[in-house]
Amino acid sequence: MKSVITKLVVLVVLVVGFTACSNKESEKKIAALENRIKELEGGEAPTKTAVTPAKEPDVKPEGPIPSFEWETTEHDFGKLNEGDVVTYSYKFKNTGEAPLIIEGVRPSCGCTAPNWTKTPIPVGGEGVVDVKFDSKGKHNAQNKTVTVTANTWPKQTVLRFKTFVTPKDASK
């Protein structure tokens, strides 16, 4: 009888011990994740597990800087039928004092594919950012952006376009 009680007590201690360890480990992981979520949301984390250095604000570079002069930064494709693919060319001129280099172009959604002048644009030279929009799977009003990053000041320019996509008739 004593042997059975001893084995039972040892078993309970082991179970409690393993459970307690995993709970403490889980609690630590949960606390770390909660702190990270608070940081990402812009709030103060109740307890900091790691110090993340603050991003320094961009500072206008010294010396000659290139500059965009866009014909337009907005475009309206009007009404489209679902499945239509359309393209628009955002044209610009470098009115700055140094060659302009587009470092990248990022669309706001996968339905938009950009292409741009990849070579340096000399002072007074012209370039283009072509934007292709595929309306497949899109319905009603669409407002999209394309962010252009270049060696200009400010570094980013946002191009916008809108359209209204008429859905395919489901009865066909």
- pLDDT tens readout for residues 87-121: 999 999 999 999 999 999 999 999 999 999 999 99
Higher pLDDT, 93 or 27: 93
* Residue-averaged pLDDT of the chain: 82
Amino acid at position 101, single letter: I
Higher pLDDT, 166 or 37: 166
pTM above 0.75, yes or no: no
- Single out the residue of 142, 139, 146 nearest to residue 116, CA to CA: 146
Helix (H, G, I), strand (E, B) or coil at 138: coil
pLDDT band at 60 (very low <50, low <70, confident <90, very high): confident
Q: Which residues contact 71 (CB under 8 A, 6 or more apart)?
A: 90, 91, 92
CATH number of 68-166: 1.10.645.10, 3.40.50.300, 2.60.40.10, 3.30.70.2190?
Answer: 2.60.40.10
Give the number of C-alpha atoms closer than 13 A to the C-alpha of residue 11, restricted to the C-beta side: 6
pLDDT band at 61 (very low <50, low <70, confident <90, very high): confident
Domain boundaries, the chain: 1-55, 68-166
The pLDDT value given to residue 21: 45
Q: What is the mean pLDDT of residues 72-91?
A: 97
Give the number of C-alpha atoms closer than 13 A to the C-alpha of residue 158, restricted to the C-beta side: 6
pLDDT at 169 over 90: no
